[in-house]
Amino acid sequence: MRGFFEPRSVAVVGVSDNPDNLGRTIVKNLQEFSCSGIIYLVGPRGGIQFGRRIYKSVADIPDQVDLAVILTPARTVPDVLEECGAKGIKRAVIESAGFGEYGEEGKKLETRLKEIAAKYDMRFIGPNCIGVINMHNGLVVPFAPFKDVYNRGGISLISQSGGVGISYLSLLASEALGVCKFASIGNKLDVDENDLLEYFLQDDDTEIICMYLEGISNGKRLMQLARSSKKPILIHKSNIGGLAKNIASSHTAALTDDDSVVDAALKQAGIARFRESETLLNYLKILPMPRPKGNKLAVMSRSGGHAVMAADACDLAGFDLAPFPDEFVREIEKHLRAKVIKLTNPLDLGDLFDTEMYIKIAERTLRQENVDALVFLHTYVSETEGSQSRDLFNTLAAMSRKFEKPVVICVATDAEEQSRLRRSIEYPLFTEPQDAINALALARDFGTHANRIEGTSLELDADSERVRKILDVCKDAKRSPQLMECLEILDAYGIPVSKSIMVHDVDEAVQKAKDLSLPVALKVVSEQVSHKSDIGGVQLNLRNPEAIRNAYNEIMDRVREHAPDANVSGVLLQPMAPPGRELILGGKQDRNFGPVVLAGLGGIFVEIFADVSMRIAPFPGEAAREMLLDLEGSPILTGARGQKAVDLDIAADAIMRLAKLLMDFSDISEIDINPFRMLTVGKGAVALDARIVIK
């Protein structure tokens, strides 16, 4: 990837003397940013532009070329790429549109591009992109006109959309945040976001990586790279429509739509997800600062109103306000003028007009062990206090580095002064107390290290041969496993299941019930009936032969009424499980991330409440337990309001075994265990119902 950002020579292909020619704009950008490499112009009509010869083809260039930037009509691009390959050019950026995004003809052109690149061992970015940028050597090749208004710094960007990428660059310029490198990847036919991410992780100039993606090329690789990263990775993943909801054949498929899986995967890998530019800006401002080591803040404010706003924001974000020592407060009071303000945290300094004193108070505050971060809210008139305020901000920035604690500065002043600050102060500044506090919360919660879940091998006893035999029988019959087979599969992997007997007529149901302890439950078994309770296919608490006979006949009547075309294989007879809490455990094979495991509060309303937690397999045992504690309804499981706690260890073990089952058998596309009846600690748990869908 280095060849895309550090070429010694660049050929811009598609340049003409037409005033509207976009190739000319690329050359202008290279000149505007003083590109350090040699620039060659290429266009079929030849001529001279910018005092440079326009070569009629890449082959005419007398010297070696490291990077070709191609912006010609789509139909001509394969031939241009062929010329580049024959010339020995190993890197190309194809900015032309009209390929796979355009239709079948465009897809054929894409096939040719891949064949040519493979033939010459080339790598290319695009097509349908706006190019790459390296601010540190002036390589700026987008076809949109750029002005050099950017600070150089450590933020590198990857964007699937050129327009979104430009908007992010404009955002960074407006806030004087330092840009390092940028890549617009468009159709990502060859180079994708993971290739560039891997390069940026190794790039010494890159400190923070920001990505805009509409689709993820390889979720497993993305997670692997992120887990190895010591640099913050931020992603805006759009295109969140979950089509799986419309084609779901199980609860799991409905609950784990594409975007919810992406959310779980990014969190598990320690990637921060954002959905709007305000959150991105807060991340980019706060992440270069030292990370808060705890949850206690100190707030200093020159405005009482801003102090109240900050206190409200702290409350909403879950921060605590650290108490100030009495002697510290008394020392500050000596310097107040009217002595009419009671000093607490937030510290209202509206009666103190002395920036030198602000510095002393801030330093004393940061020395306190119970203060993890300082929020400094400063309101001033630039005409009278501009110079000393700017000095104050630089001093506070130095203090943040000295004490290794974040000092978040929020400024209220006139627009002209705000613009001056962005040009003269390299330290990030905020303009709203809410944004300042929210940014600190992002830093506190950011999962680069503390919340990252590492993958692990799953060493659990399981009878995989038994499962394979069941699945092979089902595949030969071109069907998914039936309920009895589902329970056998779970049992083979050590997941506790209810004792079950399959019966095929009402007399057999009455007879076999004698082998079980009453009361019993009856459940219809049919491949065409996914959710049995919805059509009356489940009857519970049957305590005598007459009740069993009536329930069996009623189930058959209900099935004939609501699913007349259903093929009923039989009815499952089970003893009633002791009362407890119900979970749903499930999983599916995600096309991008692989096996996804789900846990949530179960029962017939599981899709309505949708209180679920997800992990991408593999993961360690403690992560399985955390899945249960992550649920909003987890107090129900841990013994809220005097109720007995259920056996979370049994549930966590079942989650791990479910993950192993999905990893061992990729042909299991979906699985539900609902309900998984949780009993009190020491009494275990039992799977009462299950559904498995195979490819």
Amino acid at residue number 406: P
Q: What's residue 339's pLDDT?
A: 57
Q: What's residue 292's pLDDT?
A: 92
Say yes or no: 277 and 331 in one domain: no
| Residues whose CB falls within 8 Å of the CB of residue 680, separated by 6 or more in sequence, listed in order | 580, 644, 645, 646, 647
Q: Is 399 inside a domain boundary?
A: yes
E strand residue ranges, 162-215: 179-184, 208-213
Say yes or no: 602 and 520 in one domain: no
Which residues does residue 542 pair with via DSSP β-bridges, in sequence order? 520
Coil, helix or strand at residue 261: helix
Q: Whole-angstrom Cα distance, residue 250 to residue 392?
A: 60
Say yes or no: 11 and 117 in one domain: yes
From residue 497, give the alpha-carbon distance in Å to each of 83, 388, 605, 663.
Answer: 65, 73, 22, 21
Say yes or no: 632 and 672 in one domain: yes
Q: Is 236 inside a domain boundary?
A: yes
Q: What's residue 246's pLDDT?
A: 43
Q: Is 123 inside a domain boundary?
A: yes
Say yes or no: 271 and 214 in one domain: yes
Q: Whole-angstrom Cα distance, residue 582 to residue 574?
A: 17
Q: Taking a C-beta distance cutoff of 8 angstroms, is the pair 647, 678 a contact?
A: yes
Domain final position from 383, 412, 445: 445
Q: What is the CATH number of the domain that holds 688?
A: 3.30.470.20
Q: For residue 585, what are the domain limits?
A: 581-694
Q: Is residue 159 classed exposed, middle or buried when 0-12, 13-18 and 19+ CB atoms within 10 A define those classes?
A: buried
| Residues whose CB falls within 8 Å of the CB of residue 140, separated by 6 or more in sequence, listed in order | 29, 30, 32, 33, 35, 133, 134, 146
Q: How many CB atoms lie within 10 A of CB 293?
A: 12
Q: What is the CATH number of the domain that holds 568?
A: 3.30.1490.20
Q: What's residue 422's pLDDT?
A: 86
Q: Is 548 inside a domain boundary?
A: yes
Q: What is the CATH number of the domain that holds 417?
A: 3.40.50.261
DSSP 414-450: -HHHHHHHHHH--S-EES-HHHHHHHHHHHHH--SST
Q: What is the CATH number of the domain that holds 86?
A: 3.40.50.720
Say yes or no: 32 and 104 in one domain: yes
Q: What's residue 252's pLDDT?
A: 52
Q: What's residue 179's pLDDT?
A: 97
- Among 462, 464, 467, 460, which residue's Cα sits nearest to residue 489? 467
pTM of the model: 0.87
DSSP 333-392: HTT-SS--S---SSEE-TT---HHHHHHHHHHHHH-TT--EEEEEEE--HHHHHHHHHHH
Say yes or no: 101 and 10 in one domain: yes
How high is the mean pLDDT in each 10-residue block of the chain (695 residues)?
97 94 96 96 93 95 96 96 97 95 89 97 96 97 96 96 95 93 96 98 97 93 93 91 46 62 92 93 93 93 90 94 88 67 77 85 94 95 92 96 96 93 89 94 73 74 96 94 94 94 92 88 85 85 93 91 87 90 93 93 70 92 91 84 83 95 96 91 90 92
Q: Whole-angstrom Cα distance, residue 77 to residue 6?
A: 23
Say yes or no: 371 and 385 in one domain: yes
Q: At what angle do helices 304-317 and 433-445 cross, to 10 degrees?
A: 30
Domain final position from 530, 560, 575: 575
Say yes or no: 311 and 252 in one domain: no
Say yes or no: 425 and 298 in one domain: yes
Q: Is 140 inside a domain boundary?
A: no
Say yes or no: 632 and 537 in one domain: no
Q: Is 486 inside a domain boundary?
A: no
Q: Is 469 inside a domain boundary?
A: no
Q: Is 377 inside a domain boundary?
A: yes
E strand residue ranges, 467-590: 501-503, 520-526, 538-542, 568-575, 581-590
Say yes or no: 269 and 357 in one domain: no
**Domains held by the chain: number:** 5
Domain final position from 407, 425, 445: 445
